[in-house]
Structure 1
Amino acid sequence: MIFISRELKPDSPLRNWAEQSGAAIHAQSLLRFSAVAFTPPAAADWWFFYSARAVRFAGGEVPSGVRVAAIGGSTATALLGRSLPVDFCGDGHPGRAAEDFLAVADGRRVFFPRARQSRLSVQTALADRLTVLDAVCYDNLPVPPAGPIDARTYIFTSPLNVAAYLDHYPLPAGARVVAIGPSTGSELARRGIDCRWPAEPSEEGLVQLLAGRPA
């Protein structure tokens, strides 16, 4: 069985691949999300979104005339789904996205609507090259499962999801562990857990990674 720490849509590429491969899949977010009231900045050249979740909670506040950035493809898709422009799209890796973003935003005022538990990866990397405007727009609290989840493959989709599970339950010996991207992978590595992550932090990327080995 495959466990992934997020809910999946009925047409999820990962769910479809698992079903076609004959693998059971257990999709369960280990976080609870809630909106946090915030005041958008009066003057910003850019709004930079870390996640589709941030788009959900703050996308409706983007003023006209402001340029909009997404850390990766999934966030860009969420922005387009709200009829918002995507003036910059990174590759989903915080370090590379920050470096590429400088090419268009060096010296500008950039607003980062974010989760309370965010690691601040992009704005920390860019703090000396642009003016960082920051506000918490949603809360993300860990909600551990009621008991351990028995799977052969564990896919963790954020560092906080890693903590929500591994602070309470160990992984079984021999389990395959996959991270959605390098930030989650770093948290797993910090805990001494070997893992891999896809070239692209998306369900399609996960499918490409998993398809090379039965789940």
Structure 2
Amino acid sequence: MTVFISRKLKPDSPLLRWAEETGNAIISRSFLTFAPVAYTPPTDADWWFFYSPRAVEFALRDGIVPPSETKLAAIGGGTALYLGKAAGRVDFSGDGNPARTAEAFLEVAAGQRVFFPRARQSRLSVQKAIADEITVLDAVCYNNMPAPAAAPVNADVYIFTSPLNVAAYVDHQPLAPGARVIAIGPSTGAALEARGIACVWPREASEEKLLSLL
């Protein structure tokens, strides 16, 4: 079986390990380009909330670190893992589902000041859901732009990791006939379904949960 995923996998990726152990093939490629955007972090936030590993990467660059008294939150397990390695701590982790994560995060952050360093194209899913219950501090720390696929990818299973990756591939190239399609989460799933593509997604947005579907 050949599995395509629309992100560049790290050497310690569970998906790469699974492919090696089972003899299946993995094609990992993002159809996005990324560029840092200069920003000024707040000094008075109670929380920093990260939507993705990319947000962690681009927010915590050039010597920028959250104040020691500020708590750190991640939307899901993959982001939490990256955040823990980059910042040395994670005070809250959601399950990758924006609606459930927003509800759970509000239990610990209601009435507080929450900073969201994010992509320019972010859907703002969590901060919109709880904007009436917190003070939102917002800044774009990186730009993410689609780089449309120039040729089709032949795979038995396609895993899409963001709505932008869906647009960059599906709007320009075909899926292989009979292929199964998996989304990383509900937002990506909605982008696929809006294009008439049936898909499933795990309850939690992580590579481990993707493996359970494979």
Which residue does the alignment assign to 1:19? 20
| 120 and 83 in structure 1: CA distance in 2 versus 1, 3 angstrom threshold | closer
Distance in 2, Cα, partners of 1:200 & 1:141 = 25
Corresponding position: 1:99 with 2:86: no
What is the identity, as a one-letter code, of the residue corresponding to 1:48?
A: F
Which residue does the alignment assign to 2:127? 123
Distance in 1, Cα, partners of 2:114 & 2:12 = 35
Deviations along 1:124-144, one digit per CA (max 9) or x if unpaired, are 101111111111000111112
What is the identity, as a one-letter code, of the residue corresponding to 1:199?
A: R
What is the identity, as a one-letter code, of the residue corresponding to 2:55?
A: A
Distance in 1, Cα, partners of 2:96 & 2:54 = 14
Task: Calculate the aligned-residue CA RMSD, in Å.
Answer: 1.3
Offset of residue 42 of structure 1: 3.3
Distance in 2, Cα, partners of 1:30 & 1:20 = 27
Offset of residue 104 of structure 1: 0.8
Could you say what secondary structure the match of 1:82 adopts?
A: helix
What is the identity, as a one-letter code, of the residue corresponding to 1:41?
A: P
- The 5 A counterparts of 1:3-18 are 3-18=4-19
Could you say what secondary structure the match of 1:61 adopts?
A: coil
Which residue does the alignment assign to 1:72? 76
Offset of residue 146 of structure 1: 2.2
Which residue does the alignment assign to 2:29? 28
Structure 2: 5+ residue runs without aligned partners? none
Distance in 1, Cα, partners of 2:95 & 2:171 = 30
Could you say what secondary structure the match of 1:34 adopts?
A: strand
- The 5 A counterparts of 1:116-155 are 116-155=120-159
- Aligned positions, number: 210
Distance in 1, Cα, partners of 2:13 & 2:97 = 22
Distance in 1, Cα, partners of 2:87 & 2:42 = 21
Offset of residue 61 of structure 1: 3.3
Distance in 1, Cα, partners of 2:104 & 2:15 = 29
Distance in 2, Cα, partners of 1:132 & 1:9 = 32
- Alignment partner of 1:163 out of 164, 167, 191: 167
Distance in 2, Cα, partners of 1:89 & 1:11 = 21
Could you say what secondary structure the match of 1:195 adopts?
A: coil
What is the identity, as a one-letter code, of the residue corresponding to 1:102?
A: L
What is the identity, as a one-letter code, of the residue corresponding to 2:9?
A: L
Distance in 2, Cα, partners of 1:77 & 1:57 = 16
Using the aligned pairs only, state the percent identity: 65
Offset of residue 84 of structure 1: 3.5
Offset of residue 22 of structure 1: 2.4
Distance in 1, Cα, partners of 2:169 & 2:94 = 29
Structure 1: 5+ residue runs without aligned partners? 211-215
Corresponding position: 1:54 with 2:55: yes
What is the TM-score with the length of structure 2 in the denominator? 0.93
Which ranges of 4 or more aligned residues in structure 1 deviate by more than 4 Å? none
What is the identity, as a one-letter code, of the residue corresponding to 1:126?
A: I
